Each structure stands twice: as structure tokens, then as C-alpha cells.
Structure 1
């Protein structure tokens, strides 16, 4: 396997040079000039509008013309949505992506807060509206194409921001930041991926072993399994509530096949979703088997809605499920204790959530091992943060003998919102100092990692883009 990974890595390296030319912006004088005027000199960039921003910042909504296929100039272009939070031309700049849509609010990621810098946020290709008119999912929606998008963006903006650059993102965004660094290792000076899964070999799954022992309280795990079983035993009762809810919202279930199938998959997922986003203290909120249906339904709405897999709820995330089905991989369903109650065993897989009208190529078994191999053998200046109770951390990125100036931290009891500020004080201080060093800044006091954003800034972790379905 090692030889195969080496060959795969070498093949991928050879294709990195074929991306289209990067637009050259007119250089701005660091510390001076008007950012609004400077943006108008970036080829391919359109300033959609300037929105209100907290004192000391300016906030712009932008689009940037990208090749639909970085290897095929004849495939056309599309407009990719960006936002820019500008502080100073000479400040460090953070390239951020959630891996999904771009937020329209002037939020700051934690690394941006730590370095007090600018932030360029990018929407991931194929998430509406950042999608080519002539779609070609198999050729255009790959981790390399998305990395090439980020490469062109960073190169285009580097003329405006010649200082240090960092890349970051949470969850799928953390994966994206890692892939970007693998394919274009010299574009930024450091990468901080948050809660980024590393599903190296899809058939070898560590998630279920993790889920069988997650948390400090075995009674919580038992209670979760009990309410799942009770819900499936009372399927008609809960199905009636879900049917009424779906009718009110105008939901249909063509992609998964039926509301009943959607309900069953959601019940399976609820155990995973609970540990992903809830806290250990929320174990007390788990309803007891036999509780009134309305009470249980309301609990599922908080943890994993029983209408999660409606067509209308799935639509924004189809590009993610497609990627999970063809490159990223996914956890196997944790449902062994429910098997006697299942009507659709084996349905809880990404393929179930991709419309049949979208053709899928065979699964790429080389993509994730290549990334993992690069991190362990060539990774430089990477800082991974995970939550110890987050199921997505069951298969984390691993550092190896070739990783240099790289670090990995776990927040004790942390979930999918884990960040540097939640680490034990000595680890938080060390991680903060590392991030600031990569940004060319001196160490700072612990207040820099405060979880609450400064006055005027929305809390980034409250952004619905970060917490909405899908699980990742």
C-alpha cells in the first residue's frame, strides 16, 4: 500500500501545474490607499456591494470569475461568491471556507481573531449560486478543482495583501483547507483545520467503535439507543407527526424515496448527531422511552429532524453528499442495535441523498490516502483541532515523521464546535502562539483566544451555515 500511495502522490503532483493562469492584481501600497478602489483592479473580481462592518473594518460582498474546469479552458467559467473583511493592507490575511456556502455576514474565524487580520471567505464550487451553467459534476466537482479555486483566489489577492497568509475552515471547510495546502503547499504560511475528518480508507471504519464508547456516561448512550428504538417501534405515530410537518413546509421525499425512509435514516443518525453538536450535559434532555410523541418529536427537531432528508432540505447539500459518495468517504451507519426494526437496511449512505439525475463516477480510492500520506510525510505548519466527543474526530488527521512544525489538539469533552479557546489554558496559549508566529506576529495574552467575538461581530459558530445539515 505504501508504494501505491507514493505513486498516487507523484501522479497528483504532476497535474498541479495545469491550472489556468492566475489574474494579477494591481499592487496596493501596504497600509495606504482605498480598499474599495484596489478591489476594482483585481481582474475577474466584481464588487457586488459594501455592507456595514464593525469599527476598524470594511466588509465587501464579491464574485470572482473562475474556470469551470481548471484543466480545460473551453469548459467555460462561473462566478464564485466571496466576501472580504478588510482591516489593513499590511495585516495578515486568512483564507476561510466552510466547505459549503459563504456567509453574507462579517463574521471572523478564530484564526482571524487571533491574528487581528483580514479575512477572504470563499464559497465552495457547486454550492448555489457558485455553479457553472454547464454542469459536469464528475470533472468539475473534485477536491483538486476546489483547491485550484482557492489557489487562484489567494494569488489574485496577494498583490493587495503581501503579508503572511493563513488558511482555515471548520468541518468540511477544515478538510478543504488541508486539501488546498496539499496541492498548493506554498500558497499560505500556515493552515488551521478545525474538526476535519480523515476517512483514509472508506472500507476501514473507526466511527462505530468510537460511538460505542463516546462520552463519560454509559447511561447516556443507553438512553439514546432506547429512544431510537422506541421511536421506530412507534413509527406510525411519529410518521403522522412528520407527515403533518412536511405538509406544512411543502416537503417532498423523491430523492430518498419516501417520508418513512427519511424518518428511519434520521432516527439512525440521531445518535451520531447528538454527540456531534450536543454537550455531555445535554444527556439529561434525552426523552425516556414512552414519552409523549410531541415531546420526543421536539427533541428530534433539536438533534436530528425526522424530516431531515426531504428534497427541499437536501437540495443545498447535494454537492457535499456527491463528494462523500465519490471521494471523501463517510462513516458507516451505527445501527446494529436497531437492525430488527429497520425497513431499509443499508440506506444510510451518501448515495441515497444524491438525485439519480446526477451521474456518479466510481469511488476514487486514491484521493483520501494521498492527502493522508502527504500530511504524514510532507505536511508543514499544520495545526489540527478536534473535540474528544465529536464523532467526526474518530478518524482524525495524523501527523507523521515527515510532518514539520505541525500540531494536533483535542478539546476535552469537546464537540464539533471545538476550537483553540476551548483547549486547556497551556495548550490554548501554545496553539495561539504558533498561529501568531506563522502570521509573523509576537505571542499574545490569553485574551486573544476569547471565544466571544469583539463588540459588533457576530459569533462565527452561530452562523447557520456552520450548524445546518448535513452532519459534516
Structure 2
């Protein structure tokens, strides 16, 4: 996340099994086999191993522990150094691990907390599926829900756009602040119990619409994609920004799930990537009984404004020569080409710079070049870094691909101001200190990024999430990659052992045998997507305190 400013129905015996529960006590490991069945499935016979006790962090390929009550599952695709203390469960030394390793888009590793009961046990197929007219009647009968029919190219699916009437403040019994309409896209295949429902959150506006996310493809599932409150069209008017909290959004999602469970009988899984992953995690924290499992792709948890644990990543990511060249390009852009970059940015007539002036916008883009390169490009694109002899036009074109100046434009700030508010209010953000660049502008030059005066940071929000999962986390799979600071990998991109393990967990949760063909990724509607799809850098990087690297 980050921009400017920032199938076969499995037998019960296939899926209803519990595995070894690892416990870490006083530096030693013991196994609690109280929930282990007499005959464990072939799936875990060889692949599952307890985490090493001397090094709680993941360090070997296919290291794994699956807990039947509380614990964690961890799988890595190779030797991994413990560098990401911000990841979920990072501080839970009393649990199975303390830190997770680097990330990669193509090949990553999994951290899953507790496999609980499988909702898919048994073969209750229920009555025949409803036809389209019957489905519409059922959906329109849901209180506070309006339904619009739409078309889709997704095979064997029907597409509807729903609007849920939500309280601005779920915790005010008088609802004195009124309601708003929250947009939800629905891909429908069947309401029968054998077909799961995937609850997807992007963390932003609803730009997935009828595009399948990975779990939907793997499980031939139904899917809803929920627009985050205060993004897109799902914003109350007038807007009380104090009601944009993780607790309120979790309550939004809870209300939507409870309504849809009146129609759909299959297992419910929540999912999302990056900020959408954290949104799914937050919902699971407050309403764990809503769903049968959660799959979060790179859900970053930050503990501060700023959080100083990020910068050391850039000292180790990728080959030495590539890291040096990234720094050289960024330095050249700011030291030798600042004026040229401002002139070329001003020629992009589609963007206005009233909230943040073009000078600070250019400086912000260049200071974020290193982060954005590793987030969206990575080691496979090191050879594309321009030579310092390149022309100003060539250098600007590359900057525009990696870290666009237009991320600070009025248009993109307006689309992402709700996100920026959240980072200051509860989510926190990384320390973006760039020691090799001397910056000209101060935080006052970036005040236009926020829709309100800067809110006071609530440090308790993220610590509460961490504390909860350290003590109570279950039925969660967290997927991370290797090269970039926080963007996601995919289940389809995992190495064979890890891939098979992830599919086994999904089967255990849903009772559905996942597909094995590769997922090619969701297609985002160009008319709805705001480039970049997510902010490449947080809006606050220039405000970060200096942290030695």
C-alpha cells in the first residue's frame, strides 16, 4: 500500500482433522496432542513440522506448525532472515514466532494462525439452487439493501451491485448521525452450502467490481467486494471524519456478512491484500465468529507515526549493485534535475497542484523512489534502471512509472484522503527517512493531503489487534512475499509444498477441493482504478523522524 504523500466434495475424513499443537514454554518445545485424531491425514504426514525452538523466527523451507486451538502455521520457500517486525503476530514471542522474513510478489511464504473447525464437514447439499428471479427476491428482501442488476463476463456467475444502508456510528443506539449507503459488488454462483462465499475488502473504493480475487477462483466461489467506508461513493454527507475507524468498518463488514448469511449457506472467508488485508484482519479481530477463515495478503501492522522498523529492510533487499543504483538515480533526480522534473511535471495538464504545490510534489516523488521501486518493480527490474547519462525526459518518464509526481495532485489526493486520515488516526505509517537526500520542504508544505486538521494518533488501536491475535488468533492465513516493503504474493505463486499446504487449509475451512490451475490476477476496470491502484507511499514520509540506517 502506499502515494504522495504516500469440484469434488471431500469426505469428512479428508477435511475434519486436527494437527499437532505446538507450544513454546520457557525456551523449550512440547507437543500437546490432546486434539490430535487417531489417524491423521496423509497431507500432514510429511509436510508439517514444528517450528524450531531455538530460533522462533522462520528459517527453513516448509517449516510448519498447525494448531488445533491456538498457534500458527508458517511456511517459507527458502532461508529467510527475520526482518519484518511489523507483520501480524510479530511481538508474540510466547507463541510460535516473533518475526517474519522478507516478501516477494511471485514466491512468498505463509503465516496462518490456528486451523479451527471445518465448516465444510459433511455433505448437506440442501435444496436446489434458486433461479435469478428468486435470488433477486431474497436479496431485495434484506432490510436496508437495494439491488441493481448488472452484466459480467465471469463464467457461470451473475453480477449485482448492492447498496447497504449503514449507520454512520454503529455504536450510537440513537443513530443521531444518520446513515449512508455502502456499495458492495456481488458475484453469485450458488447460494447452496457447497459453494463458499468470499468476502473481499480492497481497503479503498470498490474497483474490483466483478473481477474475481484469488480465493474466488480457487474455490469456484461466490464473492462480494466491499467498498471501505468514506471511500468512493460510500461516504456520509456531511462527513464526520471521527467515525472513520477500524472498529466502524469492522461493524460495516459484520452487518453485511450477517445479512448475506440469510441467503448463502456455504462457508464464509474474508480476504484482502495490503490495506484490504488489514481490513480483513481487523474484522476478524472484532467479529471472529462471522467467518470460517481469513486469508490476508501482506497485512502490514505499524506501531507508530512513524514506525522505525521499516528502514533496515532497504539495507538488505536485492543485490548490492541494484540498491546502489536505485540510490544513485534518486540522488541524481533531486540534486541535478529538480528544476527539470518540476517543469516536466507541470506539463502534465491533466493534474492540478493546489492542495500541494508542484515543488513539494516533485520532492515527495523522488524521496519515495526507492520505496516504490522495491514495492512495484523489484530485483527482476534492476536492469531497467536508467543510466545517469539519460536525458531529463527519459529520467522523468521512469520516475513517472515508479513514483509519479501526480500522486500528490489534487485529483489523487481527493481519492485517497480517507486513507491518509486513517494513517494519522489509527493505522500508523513507516519511517520513510531517506538519509542520502537533503529535502527542502517541511511538513507544512504537505498539510493539504488531509481532509481535516491532523488527528491525534491512537496508539492503542494496532496494539489491541496484536494483543488479541497473540492470545486468541485462529483460522487465519497470512501470506507475505520477499522483495518489496509490503505488497502481496499469491497462493498460486507459492512453491509446490507451500502451495499444497495452503490449498489444504482452504479445503479444511470450506469443505471444497480448490482448483489447481493458476490464478492470473484480478482485472481492475480502467474507468474505476486510480493509478496507481494503491498509494505508492504514505502521505507522511517527509514528516518522519530521522532514523539511522
TM-score class, shorter: 0.7 to 0.9
The equivalent residue for 2:245 is 142
Instruction: Give the Cα separation in 2 of the matches to 1:334 and 1:461.
Output: 34
Please show how residues 342-357 of structure 1 align to structure 2 within 5 Å: 342-344=439-441, 353-355=449-451
The question of 1:166 aligning with 2:231 is answered: no
Q: TM-score, normalised by structure 1?
A: 0.81
- Inter-partner Cα distance in structure 2 for 1:55 and 1:237: 49
Alignment correspondent of 1:76: 178
Kept after mapping to 2: 8 A contact 1:200/1:372: no
Contact 2:218 / 2:515 at 8 angstroms: preserved in 1? no
The whole-number CA distance in structure 2 between the counterparts of 1:121 and 1:466 is 19
Alpha carbons of structure 1 residues 124 and 172: separation in structure 2 relative to 1, 3 Å: same
2:280, 2:142 → 1: CA distance? 23
Quick check: 1:429 aligned with 2:500? yes
Return the match for 1:124 from 216, 219, 228: 228
* 1:298 aligns to 2:298 (yes or no): no
SS at 2:150's partner residue?
strand
Distance in 2 between the 1:47 and 1:184 partners?
A: 26
Task: Determine if the alignment matches structure 1 residue 43 to structure 2 residue 143.
Answer: yes
SS in 2 for 1:120: strand
The residue aligned with 2:49 is none
Structure 1 residue 461: Cα displacement: 11
Partners of 1:371 and 1:65 in 2: how far apart? 27
Give 1:29-108 correspondences, 5 Å limit.
31-33=129-131, 34-72=134-172, 73-90=175-192, 91-103=195-207, 105-108=209-212
* Native 8 Å contact 2:182 2:227 kept in 1: yes
Whole-Å Cα distance in 2 between the matches of residues 204 and 240 of structure 1?
A: 34
Q: Could you tell me how far apart the structure 2 residues matched to 1:287 and 1:294 are?
A: 11
Q: How many Å apart are 1:464 and its aligned residue?
A: 3.6
- 1:251 deviates by 1.1
1:265/1:348 contact within 8 Å kept: no
Match in the other structure for 1:376: 470
In structure 2, relative to structure 1, the CA distance for the partners of 1:184 and 1:30 (3 Å cut) is: farther
Q: Deviation at 1:387? A: 1.2
Distance across 1 between alignment mates of 2:287 and 2:209: 28
2:208–2:524 Cα contact (<8 Å) kept: no
Q: Displacement, 1:39?
A: 1.3
Does the Cα contact within 8 Å between 2:207 and 2:524 map onto a contact in 1?
no
Please state how far the C-alpha of 1:425 moved relative to its aligned partner: 1.1
- Going from structure 1 to structure 2, the CA distance change for 1:107 and 1:168 (only over 3 Å counts) comes to same
CA 1:171–1:155 in 2, change beyond 3 Å: closer, same or farther?
Answer: same
Please, which runs of 5 or more residues in structure 2 have no aligned partner?
A: 1-90, 92-125, 538-549
Instruction: Indicate the SS of the match to 2:406.
Output: coil
* Matched-pair contact (CA < 8 Å) for 1:94–1:111: yes
Q: Unaligned 5+ residue runs, structure 1?
A: 6-27, 393-415
- Tell whether 2:424 aligns with 1:325: yes
Q: Distance in 1 between matches of 2:445 and 2:274?
A: 20
Q: Does 1:249 align with 2:366?
A: no
Shift of 1:103: 2.2
1:446 to 516, 526, 535: 516
Taking the aligned partners of 2:259 and 2:531, their CA distance within structure 1 comes to 26
Task: Give the Å deviation of 1:129.
Answer: 1.0
Task: Indicate how the Cα distance of structure 1 residues 439 and 174 shifts in structure 2: closer, same or farther if over 3 A, else same.
Answer: same
1-structure distance, mates of 2:500, 2:388: 44
Q: Which has the higher helix share?
A: 1
CA contact (8 A) 1:201 1:369 kept: no
Larger radius of gyration: 2
Distance in 1, Cα, partners of 2:166 & 2:515 = 40
> Deviations 1:206-242 (Å, cap 9, x if unpaired)?
2100112112x11111111111111112211111111
User: Is 1:361 aligned with 2:463?
Assistant: no
Give the superposition deviation at 1:61: 1.2
SS of 1:389 mapped into structure 2: coil
Shift of the 272–373 alpha-carbon distance from structure 1 to 2, 3 Å rule, reads same
CA distance in 2, matches of 1:236, 1:194: 39
TM-score, normalising length: structure 2? 0.70
Is 1:194 the counterpart of 2:286? The answer is no
User: Separation in 1 of the partners of 2:525 and 2:368?
Assistant: 22
CA RMSD of aligned residues (A): 2.3
**CA–CA separation in structure 2 for the residues paired with 1:237 and 1:467:** 23
Residue pair 1:100, 1:465 contacting (<8 A) in 2 also: no
More relative contact order, 1 or 2 (CA 8 Å, 6+ apart): 2
Aligned residues: 406
Partner of 1:239: 342
Comparing 43-52 and 374-383, the one that deviates more: 43-52
